[in-house]
Amino acid sequence: MSAEINAQETAAGIIASGNGYVFTGAGISVPSGIPDFRSPDGIWARADQFMVGTFQGLQLDPIGYHRFWSPLYKKALESGPNTAHRGVRRLEELRLSAGVVTQNIDNLHQVAGSERVLELHGNGMSATCVDCGASIATRELLERENFDCPGCGGVVRHDVVLFNDPLPAQTLNEAFQLAVSSSWVLVIGSSLAVYPAASVPEATLRAGGRLIVVDVEPTPLDPHAVAVLRGDCAELVPQLVQVVQRRLARDH
């Protein structure tokens, strides 16, 4: 048996036992045409992180900020979820996964049908006027030439966590509660290098849970994983789910 098949079988056996959750990063959305953040061709490689990644930068140049992010949000609205997102949803349908903890802001897990999605970094499909507090859908914001508030003309920011912002406390607490009560975590498309988000799967390990990693590149937690599946998540996740389903059918 090849190492790849052995890792897949090991992962499937653990997942089929239930009581787990999925942790995702930008890599799961790359097959949908959405760039990741930290690869050599990622978003931060071509950005002034202060101007497009902080609230202060947004205030200094709101039009520049929104013009930078608009292609990502347009792509998320147009392309939709891929087979990896749908595989994650399937694990929930099978009642093996209790939900998704994600670093992503593209809303694709929800579009794929996942019901419990804990968004550590917010959701970019909605925005809020800094001046009057009005809520505005990103789809509507993209149609505005100056990306301003349709009610008062004020500065609008997407409902996402920017640099120097705290993570949403309630969501983070719920994620840690899920992490320490789960028997396994399936990490898909995360570098596991961004904190405090990466502390969530680490908490599962510390509590005695098992780690499975699906990623194109190595992560710092690979040495602690019981199975590492290296490659395109849009191919590997559906394959893994198929093996899980075969195991469930065989065992029942």
Look at the chain and report how many structural domains it folds into: 1
- Which residues are tagged catalytic? 121
Specify the CATH number for the domain of residue 124.
3.40.50.1220
Q: Assign 3-state DSSP to the chain and report helix, strand, coil percentages, each to 5.
A: 45, 20, 35
Percent share of the chain, pLDDT over 70: 96
Summarised one tens digit per residue, pLDDT across range 35-64 is 877 666 667 677 788 888 999 999 999 999
Averaged pLDDT of the chain: 93
Structural domain including 98 reads 3-251
Q: Show the beta-strand stretches assigned E in 63-209.
A: 97-102, 117-119, 122-129, 135-137, 156-160, 184-188
Matching residue, tokens 């005695």: 208
Summarised one tens digit per residue, pLDDT across range 7-23 is 999 999 999 999 999 99
pLDDT reported for residue 250? 87
> Mean pLDDT over residues 209-235, rounded?
97
Structure tokens at 123: 């959701």
DSSP single-letter state for residue 129 = E
Q: Show the beta-strand stretches assigned E in 75-189.
A: 97-102, 117-119, 122-129, 135-137, 156-160, 184-188
Distance CA(167)–CA(198), nearest Å, equals 12
